[in-house]
Structure 1
Amino acid sequence: MEIAEGMEYLHHYCSVQVIHCDLKPSNVLLGDDMTSCIADFGLSSLIFGNSVDSLTSTNALKGSIGYIAPEYGIGGQLTTKGDVYSYGILILELLTKRRPTDDMFIEGMNLQKWVELHFLNRISIVLDNCLLLDVPESDRSMVMECLTQFIEIGLFCTRESPSERPDMIEIVDRLNTIRGTFLGTPKTIQLPVDISPFIDNTRGINMSGPGNRGSSSTSTS
Protein backbone atom coordinates (compact mmCIF):
# COMPACT_ATOMS: atom_id res chain seq x y z
CA MET A 1 0.00 0.00 0.00
CA GLU A 2 2.83 2.41 0.87
CA ILE A 3 4.35 1.98 -2.59
CA ALA A 4 1.09 2.96 -4.28
CA GLU A 5 0.74 5.96 -1.97
CA GLY A 6 4.31 7.00 -2.67
CA MET A 7 3.86 6.73 -6.44
CA GLU A 8 0.57 8.63 -6.17
CA TYR A 9 2.43 11.46 -4.44
CA LEU A 10 5.27 11.51 -6.98
CA HIS A 11 2.87 11.50 -9.93
CA HIS A 12 0.12 13.82 -8.73
CA TYR A 13 0.99 15.89 -5.66
CA CYS A 14 4.62 16.91 -5.99
CA SER A 15 5.49 20.47 -6.94
CA VAL A 16 7.44 18.74 -9.73
CA GLN A 17 6.01 15.56 -11.23
CA VAL A 18 8.37 12.58 -10.95
CA ILE A 19 8.42 9.48 -13.16
CA HIS A 20 10.46 6.80 -11.42
CA CYS A 21 11.21 4.73 -14.56
CA ASP A 22 12.57 1.67 -12.70
CA LEU A 23 9.97 0.45 -10.23
CA LYS A 24 10.61 -3.18 -9.28
CA PRO A 25 10.88 -5.28 -6.09
CA SER A 26 14.63 -4.71 -5.67
CA ASN A 27 13.96 -0.95 -5.60
CA VAL A 28 11.54 -1.30 -2.70
CA LEU A 29 13.14 -1.12 0.75
CA LEU A 30 11.70 -1.76 4.20
CA GLY A 31 12.21 0.71 7.03
CA ASP A 32 12.75 -0.14 10.69
CA ASP A 33 8.97 -0.15 11.20
CA MET A 34 8.50 -2.39 8.10
CA THR A 35 7.15 0.54 6.11
CA SER A 36 7.85 0.15 2.39
CA CYS A 37 10.00 2.83 0.75
CA ILE A 38 10.65 3.55 -2.91
CA ALA A 39 14.39 3.59 -3.62
CA ASP A 40 16.87 4.21 -6.43
CA PHE A 41 15.86 7.30 -8.37
CA GLY A 42 18.88 7.03 -10.65
CA LEU A 43 16.74 6.67 -13.79
CA SER A 44 13.99 9.07 -12.77
CA SER A 45 12.68 11.94 -14.87
CA LEU A 46 11.13 15.20 -13.72
CA ILE A 47 8.24 16.75 -15.64
CA PHE A 48 8.26 20.54 -15.90
CA GLY A 49 5.12 21.51 -17.81
CA ASN A 50 5.51 19.78 -21.17
CA SER A 51 9.24 19.15 -20.88
CA VAL A 52 11.09 16.21 -19.37
CA ASP A 53 14.27 16.71 -17.35
CA SER A 54 16.13 13.44 -16.92
CA LEU A 55 18.19 12.89 -13.79
CA THR A 56 20.55 10.65 -15.77
CA SER A 57 23.08 11.52 -18.43
CA THR A 58 21.71 9.07 -20.99
CA ASN A 59 18.69 9.00 -23.26
CA ALA A 60 18.76 5.21 -23.56
CA LEU A 61 15.73 3.04 -22.87
CA LYS A 62 14.97 3.37 -19.16
CA GLY A 63 13.96 0.60 -16.82
CA SER A 64 14.65 -3.09 -16.23
CA ILE A 65 13.77 -5.95 -18.53
CA GLY A 66 10.38 -7.38 -17.63
CA TYR A 67 9.21 -4.21 -15.89
CA ILE A 68 9.47 -1.71 -18.77
CA ALA A 69 6.15 -0.61 -20.25
CA PRO A 70 5.74 -1.97 -23.81
CA GLU A 71 5.29 1.48 -25.35
CA TYR A 72 8.84 2.43 -24.30
CA GLY A 73 10.19 -0.33 -26.52
CA ILE A 74 8.76 1.38 -29.60
CA GLY A 75 9.91 4.87 -28.71
CA GLY A 76 6.88 5.95 -26.70
CA GLN A 77 7.10 9.08 -24.56
CA LEU A 78 7.82 8.76 -20.86
CA THR A 79 4.59 9.07 -18.87
CA THR A 80 3.30 8.14 -15.43
CA LYS A 81 1.44 5.24 -17.06
CA GLY A 82 4.82 3.57 -17.58
CA ASP A 83 5.30 3.51 -13.80
CA VAL A 84 1.75 2.16 -13.45
CA TYR A 85 2.69 -0.75 -15.71
CA SER A 86 5.79 -1.48 -13.63
CA TYR A 87 3.70 -1.31 -10.45
CA GLY A 88 1.30 -3.87 -11.92
CA ILE A 89 4.16 -6.24 -12.72
CA LEU A 90 5.48 -5.77 -9.17
CA ILE A 91 2.07 -6.71 -7.72
CA LEU A 92 1.78 -9.81 -9.91
CA GLU A 93 5.30 -10.89 -9.03
CA LEU A 94 4.64 -10.58 -5.30
CA LEU A 95 1.42 -12.59 -5.55
CA THR A 96 2.73 -15.35 -7.83
CA LYS A 97 6.39 -15.52 -6.77
CA ARG A 98 7.23 -15.52 -10.49
CA ARG A 99 9.63 -13.01 -11.99
CA PRO A 100 8.60 -11.49 -15.32
CA THR A 101 11.91 -12.84 -16.70
CA ASP A 102 11.21 -16.43 -15.60
CA ASP A 103 12.36 -19.06 -18.10
CA MET A 104 8.81 -20.40 -18.31
CA PHE A 105 7.69 -17.32 -20.24
CA ILE A 106 8.50 -18.14 -23.87
CA GLU A 107 6.84 -17.90 -27.29
CA GLY A 108 4.88 -14.74 -26.55
CA MET A 109 3.81 -15.76 -23.03
CA ASN A 110 4.57 -13.32 -20.22
CA LEU A 111 3.70 -12.96 -16.54
CA GLN A 112 0.47 -11.02 -16.99
CA LYS A 113 -0.79 -13.26 -19.82
CA TRP A 114 -0.07 -16.34 -17.71
CA VAL A 115 -1.97 -14.90 -14.74
CA GLU A 116 -4.87 -13.81 -16.93
CA LEU A 117 -5.04 -17.27 -18.52
CA HIS A 118 -5.79 -18.88 -15.15
CA PHE A 119 -7.48 -15.95 -13.44
CA LEU A 120 -11.16 -16.80 -13.84
CA ASN A 121 -11.24 -20.53 -13.13
CA ARG A 122 -7.89 -21.66 -11.72
CA ILE A 123 -6.51 -18.75 -9.77
CA SER A 124 -4.95 -21.05 -7.16
CA ILE A 125 -2.49 -22.24 -9.83
CA VAL A 126 -0.84 -18.83 -10.10
CA LEU A 127 -0.91 -17.79 -6.43
CA ASP A 128 2.15 -18.30 -4.26
CA ASN A 129 1.21 -21.14 -1.89
CA CYS A 130 2.88 -19.33 1.01
CA LEU A 131 0.13 -16.71 0.93
CA LEU A 132 -2.39 -19.25 2.22
CA LEU A 133 -0.21 -20.99 4.79
CA ASP A 134 -1.65 -20.95 8.32
CA VAL A 135 -4.89 -19.34 7.08
CA PRO A 136 -7.81 -20.90 9.01
CA GLU A 137 -10.36 -22.62 6.84
CA SER A 138 -13.00 -20.21 8.08
CA ASP A 139 -11.00 -17.26 6.69
CA ARG A 140 -9.78 -18.86 3.46
CA SER A 141 -12.64 -17.62 1.33
CA MET A 142 -12.18 -14.04 2.49
CA VAL A 143 -8.41 -14.17 1.94
CA MET A 144 -8.87 -15.61 -1.55
CA GLU A 145 -11.31 -12.83 -2.42
CA CYS A 146 -8.82 -10.23 -1.20
CA LEU A 147 -5.97 -11.78 -3.22
CA THR A 148 -8.23 -11.98 -6.27
CA GLN A 149 -8.86 -8.25 -6.07
CA PHE A 150 -5.14 -7.56 -5.80
CA ILE A 151 -4.55 -9.64 -8.94
CA GLU A 152 -7.26 -7.66 -10.72
CA ILE A 153 -5.34 -4.48 -9.92
CA GLY A 154 -2.14 -6.02 -11.27
CA LEU A 155 -3.84 -7.04 -14.52
CA PHE A 156 -5.54 -3.66 -14.86
CA CYS A 157 -2.20 -1.86 -14.46
CA THR A 158 -0.45 -4.01 -17.08
CA ARG A 159 -2.83 -3.47 -19.96
CA GLU A 160 -1.05 -3.07 -23.27
CA SER A 161 -2.37 0.41 -24.01
CA PRO A 162 -1.37 3.19 -21.57
CA SER A 163 -4.79 4.82 -22.01
CA GLU A 164 -6.45 1.70 -20.59
CA ARG A 165 -4.40 1.71 -17.39
CA PRO A 166 -5.57 3.50 -14.25
CA ASP A 167 -3.59 6.30 -12.66
CA MET A 168 -2.13 5.99 -9.17
CA ILE A 169 -5.00 7.95 -7.62
CA GLU A 170 -7.43 5.29 -8.86
CA ILE A 171 -5.15 2.50 -7.66
CA VAL A 172 -4.84 3.95 -4.15
CA ASP A 173 -8.61 4.42 -3.98
CA ARG A 174 -9.11 0.79 -4.95
CA LEU A 175 -6.55 -0.42 -2.41
CA ASN A 176 -8.18 1.63 0.32
CA THR A 177 -11.52 0.07 -0.56
CA ILE A 178 -10.02 -3.40 -0.29
CA ARG A 179 -8.38 -2.55 3.03
CA GLY A 180 -11.59 -1.07 4.35
CA THR A 181 -13.52 -4.18 3.35
CA PHE A 182 -11.14 -6.83 4.64
CA LEU A 183 -8.96 -5.16 7.27
CA GLY A 184 -11.02 -2.32 8.70
CA THR A 185 -10.82 1.47 8.44
CA PRO A 186 -8.22 2.77 5.95
CA LYS A 187 -5.33 4.68 7.47
CA THR A 188 -4.48 8.27 6.63
CA ILE A 189 -0.97 9.40 5.80
CA GLN A 190 0.94 12.66 6.04
CA LEU A 191 2.90 13.57 2.92
CA PRO A 192 5.63 16.20 2.61
CA VAL A 193 4.49 19.43 0.99
CA ASP A 194 7.67 20.08 -0.98
CA ILE A 195 9.90 17.76 -2.98
CA SER A 196 12.73 20.26 -3.52
CA PRO A 197 15.03 18.62 -0.93
CA PHE A 198 14.68 15.32 -2.82
CA ILE A 199 15.48 17.03 -6.13
CA ASP A 200 18.56 18.71 -4.67
CA ASN A 201 19.81 15.47 -3.15
CA THR A 202 19.15 13.46 -6.30
CA ARG A 203 21.00 15.90 -8.54
CA GLY A 204 24.01 15.38 -6.31
CA ILE A 205 24.16 11.63 -6.99
CA ASN A 206 27.26 10.48 -8.87
CA MET A 207 25.97 8.82 -12.05
CA SER A 208 29.39 7.70 -13.27
CA GLY A 209 28.86 4.02 -12.61
CA PRO A 210 26.26 1.42 -11.67
CA GLY A 211 27.84 0.92 -8.30
CA ASN A 212 26.68 4.40 -7.30
CA ARG A 213 23.02 3.77 -8.04
CA GLY A 214 20.68 3.22 -5.13
CA SER A 215 22.43 5.73 -2.93
CA SER A 216 19.26 7.74 -2.52
CA SER A 217 15.81 6.66 -1.42
CA THR A 218 12.61 8.31 -0.28
CA SER A 219 10.04 7.04 2.19
CA THR A 220 6.53 6.55 0.92
CA SER A 221 4.79 6.46 4.25
Structure 2
Amino acid sequence: MSTLNLVLMGLPGAGKGTQAQKIVDEFEIPHISTGDIFRAAMKNETEMGLEAKKYIDQGNLVPDSVTDGIVADRLAEDDTKVGFMLDGYPRNLEQAQALDSMTAKLNKPISAVINIHVDADVLVERLSGRFICKNCGATYHKLYNKPKVEGTCDVCGHHEFYQREDDKPETVKNRIEVNTKLNTPLIDFYNDKKLLYTVNGDQDINDVYREIQKVLRAI
Protein backbone atom coordinates (compact mmCIF):
# COMPACT_ATOMS: atom_id res chain seq x y z
CA MET A 1 0.00 0.00 0.00
CA SER A 2 1.26 3.47 -0.82
CA THR A 3 1.91 6.07 1.88
CA LEU A 4 -1.26 7.31 3.55
CA ASN A 5 -1.34 11.06 4.19
CA LEU A 6 -4.73 11.83 5.68
CA VAL A 7 -6.79 14.74 6.95
CA LEU A 8 -9.58 13.74 9.35
CA MET A 9 -12.60 16.05 9.60
CA GLY A 10 -15.82 16.01 11.59
CA LEU A 11 -17.91 18.31 13.76
CA PRO A 12 -17.74 18.10 17.58
CA GLY A 13 -19.51 14.93 18.71
CA ALA A 14 -19.08 13.13 15.36
CA GLY A 15 -16.80 10.52 16.96
CA LYS A 16 -13.56 11.69 15.38
CA GLY A 17 -11.40 10.71 18.38
CA THR A 18 -12.60 7.11 18.36
CA GLN A 19 -12.10 6.70 14.61
CA ALA A 20 -8.69 8.42 14.74
CA GLN A 21 -7.48 5.82 17.24
CA LYS A 22 -8.72 2.94 15.07
CA ILE A 23 -7.02 4.36 11.95
CA VAL A 24 -3.70 4.85 13.80
CA ASP A 25 -3.84 1.33 15.29
CA GLU A 26 -4.47 -0.36 11.95
CA PHE A 27 -2.41 1.71 9.54
CA GLU A 28 0.42 2.57 11.97
CA ILE A 29 0.77 6.21 10.95
CA PRO A 30 1.42 9.07 13.41
CA HIS A 31 -1.67 10.92 14.65
CA ILE A 32 -0.88 14.63 14.36
CA SER A 33 -3.31 16.57 16.50
CA THR A 34 -2.78 20.33 16.60
CA GLY A 35 -3.26 20.45 20.38
CA ASP A 36 -0.49 17.89 20.90
CA ILE A 37 2.01 19.48 18.52
CA PHE A 38 1.41 22.95 20.00
CA ARG A 39 2.17 21.61 23.49
CA ALA A 40 5.27 19.75 22.21
CA ALA A 41 6.58 22.80 20.30
CA MET A 42 6.17 25.02 23.38
CA LYS A 43 7.74 22.43 25.69
CA ASN A 44 10.72 21.95 23.34
CA GLU A 45 10.95 25.74 22.94
CA THR A 46 11.18 25.57 19.15
CA GLU A 47 11.18 28.89 17.33
CA MET A 48 7.52 28.46 16.33
CA GLY A 49 6.63 27.09 19.78
CA LEU A 50 8.01 30.21 21.50
CA GLU A 51 6.14 32.37 18.99
CA ALA A 52 2.86 30.54 19.75
CA LYS A 53 3.45 30.82 23.51
CA LYS A 54 3.61 34.63 23.22
CA TYR A 55 0.05 34.72 21.85
CA ILE A 56 -1.35 32.05 24.17
CA ASP A 57 0.13 33.73 27.28
CA GLN A 58 -1.70 36.92 26.32
CA GLY A 59 -4.94 35.01 25.79
CA ASN A 60 -4.88 35.67 22.05
CA LEU A 61 -5.52 33.32 19.14
CA VAL A 62 -2.39 31.98 17.51
CA PRO A 63 -2.21 33.41 13.95
CA ASP A 64 -2.40 31.06 10.97
CA SER A 65 1.21 31.74 9.98
CA VAL A 66 2.47 30.39 13.33
CA THR A 67 0.11 27.39 13.27
CA ASP A 68 1.21 26.63 9.70
CA GLY A 69 4.85 26.81 10.78
CA ILE A 70 4.33 24.38 13.67
CA VAL A 71 2.50 21.91 11.36
CA ALA A 72 5.23 22.24 8.69
CA ASP A 73 7.92 21.47 11.30
CA ARG A 74 5.98 18.40 12.45
CA LEU A 75 5.38 17.10 8.91
CA ALA A 76 9.12 17.39 8.19
CA GLU A 77 9.94 14.90 10.98
CA ASP A 78 11.14 11.41 10.08
CA ASP A 79 8.17 9.40 11.34
CA THR A 80 5.88 10.96 8.68
CA LYS A 81 7.75 9.06 5.93
CA VAL A 82 5.28 6.21 6.54
CA GLY A 83 2.35 8.63 6.28
CA PHE A 84 0.40 10.74 8.76
CA MET A 85 -3.07 11.71 9.88
CA LEU A 86 -3.84 15.36 10.58
CA ASP A 87 -6.59 16.06 13.10
CA GLY A 88 -7.71 19.63 13.91
CA TYR A 89 -5.84 21.14 10.96
CA PRO A 90 -6.57 22.74 8.56
CA ARG A 91 -9.27 24.80 10.29
CA ASN A 92 -9.90 27.27 7.48
CA LEU A 93 -9.29 27.82 3.78
CA GLU A 94 -6.02 29.74 4.30
CA GLN A 95 -4.61 26.86 6.33
CA ALA A 96 -5.75 24.36 3.67
CA GLN A 97 -3.88 26.35 1.02
CA ALA A 98 -0.80 26.53 3.27
CA LEU A 99 -1.01 22.75 3.79
CA ASP A 100 -1.08 22.30 0.01
CA SER A 101 2.15 24.28 -0.33
CA MET A 102 3.97 22.54 2.52
CA THR A 103 3.01 19.00 1.42
CA ALA A 104 4.11 19.84 -2.16
CA LYS A 105 7.44 21.13 -0.83
CA LEU A 106 7.93 18.00 1.33
CA ASN A 107 6.69 15.72 -1.47
CA LYS A 108 4.05 14.29 0.89
CA PRO A 109 0.77 15.07 -0.91
CA ILE A 110 -2.56 14.47 0.86
CA SER A 111 -4.02 11.07 -0.16
CA ALA A 112 -7.53 11.59 1.22
CA VAL A 113 -9.70 13.76 3.43
CA ILE A 114 -12.13 11.72 5.55
CA ASN A 115 -15.16 13.70 6.70
CA ILE A 116 -17.29 11.99 9.37
CA HIS A 117 -20.74 13.42 8.77
CA VAL A 118 -23.52 13.48 11.37
CA ASP A 119 -26.61 15.71 11.13
CA ALA A 120 -26.41 18.80 13.35
CA ASP A 121 -29.59 17.85 15.26
CA VAL A 122 -28.14 14.46 16.18
CA LEU A 123 -24.90 16.12 17.32
CA VAL A 124 -26.81 18.56 19.53
CA GLU A 125 -28.64 15.63 21.10
CA ARG A 126 -25.39 13.71 21.61
CA LEU A 127 -23.49 16.62 23.10
CA SER A 128 -26.23 18.17 25.20
CA GLY A 129 -27.41 14.90 26.77
CA ARG A 130 -24.96 14.99 29.66
CA PHE A 131 -26.19 15.78 33.17
CA ILE A 132 -24.55 15.56 36.59
CA CYS A 133 -25.69 14.65 40.11
CA LYS A 134 -25.70 17.81 42.26
CA ASN A 135 -24.66 15.87 45.34
CA CYS A 136 -21.82 13.52 44.29
CA GLY A 137 -20.91 14.67 40.76
CA ALA A 138 -21.72 11.35 39.03
CA THR A 139 -22.15 11.90 35.28
CA TYR A 140 -25.04 10.57 33.18
CA HIS A 141 -26.28 10.88 29.61
CA LYS A 142 -29.91 10.91 28.58
CA LEU A 143 -29.18 8.67 25.56
CA TYR A 144 -26.21 6.51 26.49
CA ASN A 145 -25.96 6.37 30.26
CA LYS A 146 -29.25 6.90 32.11
CA PRO A 147 -29.57 6.32 35.86
CA LYS A 148 -31.00 2.85 36.63
CA VAL A 149 -34.00 4.51 38.27
CA GLU A 150 -35.16 7.67 36.51
CA GLY A 151 -34.46 10.81 38.56
CA THR A 152 -32.30 8.99 41.13
CA CYS A 153 -28.50 8.95 41.21
CA ASP A 154 -27.10 5.39 41.07
CA VAL A 155 -24.17 6.38 43.27
CA CYS A 156 -25.68 8.38 46.14
CA GLY A 157 -29.45 8.15 45.72
CA HIS A 158 -29.98 11.91 45.39
CA HIS A 159 -32.62 13.36 43.05
CA GLU A 160 -31.17 16.70 41.96
CA PHE A 161 -29.19 17.01 38.76
CA TYR A 162 -27.71 19.90 36.79
CA GLN A 163 -26.13 20.60 33.39
CA ARG A 164 -22.81 22.35 32.85
CA GLU A 165 -23.06 25.55 30.78
CA ASP A 166 -20.95 23.86 28.06
CA ASP A 167 -23.48 21.03 27.77
CA LYS A 168 -26.62 23.15 27.50
CA PRO A 169 -28.41 22.75 24.13
CA GLU A 170 -28.13 26.44 23.16
CA THR A 171 -24.35 26.48 23.87
CA VAL A 172 -23.87 23.21 21.97
CA LYS A 173 -25.97 24.48 19.04
CA ASN A 174 -23.82 27.58 18.79
CA ARG A 175 -20.62 25.51 18.86
CA ILE A 176 -21.93 23.28 16.06
CA GLU A 177 -22.95 26.32 13.96
CA VAL A 178 -19.53 27.97 14.35
CA ASN A 179 -17.76 24.73 13.36
CA THR A 180 -20.09 24.15 10.40
CA LYS A 181 -19.25 27.63 9.07
CA LEU A 182 -15.54 26.84 9.35
CA ASN A 183 -15.86 23.38 7.79
CA THR A 184 -18.07 24.17 4.78
CA PRO A 185 -15.40 25.99 2.68
CA LEU A 186 -12.92 23.19 3.49
CA ILE A 187 -15.36 20.52 2.35
CA ASP A 188 -15.87 22.40 -0.93
CA PHE A 189 -12.10 22.90 -1.35
CA TYR A 190 -11.28 19.18 -0.94
CA ASN A 191 -14.31 18.10 -2.93
CA ASP A 192 -13.06 20.17 -5.89
CA LYS A 193 -9.68 18.43 -5.56
CA LYS A 194 -11.42 15.00 -5.60
CA LEU A 195 -9.87 14.16 -2.22
CA LEU A 196 -12.99 14.23 -0.07
CA TYR A 197 -14.65 11.04 1.23
CA THR A 198 -17.70 11.55 3.41
CA VAL A 199 -18.69 8.69 5.71
CA ASN A 200 -21.91 8.35 7.68
CA GLY A 201 -21.09 8.94 11.36
CA ASP A 202 -24.64 8.29 12.53
CA GLN A 203 -24.27 4.52 12.90
CA ASP A 204 -22.49 2.02 15.14
CA ILE A 205 -18.80 2.92 15.78
CA ASN A 206 -17.61 -0.26 14.06
CA ASP A 207 -19.81 0.36 11.01
CA VAL A 208 -18.38 3.87 10.72
CA TYR A 209 -14.89 2.39 10.80
CA ARG A 210 -15.76 -0.23 8.18
CA GLU A 211 -16.72 2.63 5.81
CA ILE A 212 -13.42 4.38 6.55
CA GLN A 213 -11.47 1.14 6.05
CA LYS A 214 -13.09 0.63 2.66
CA VAL A 215 -11.93 4.11 1.56
CA LEU A 216 -8.40 3.74 2.91
CA ARG A 217 -7.82 0.27 1.50
CA ALA A 218 -8.94 1.43 -1.94
CA ILE A 219 -6.43 4.28 -2.07
Same fold (TM over 0.5): no
Structure with bigger gyration radius: 2
Question: Which has more strand, going by share of residues?
Answer: 2
Question: Which has more helix, going by share of residues?
Answer: 2
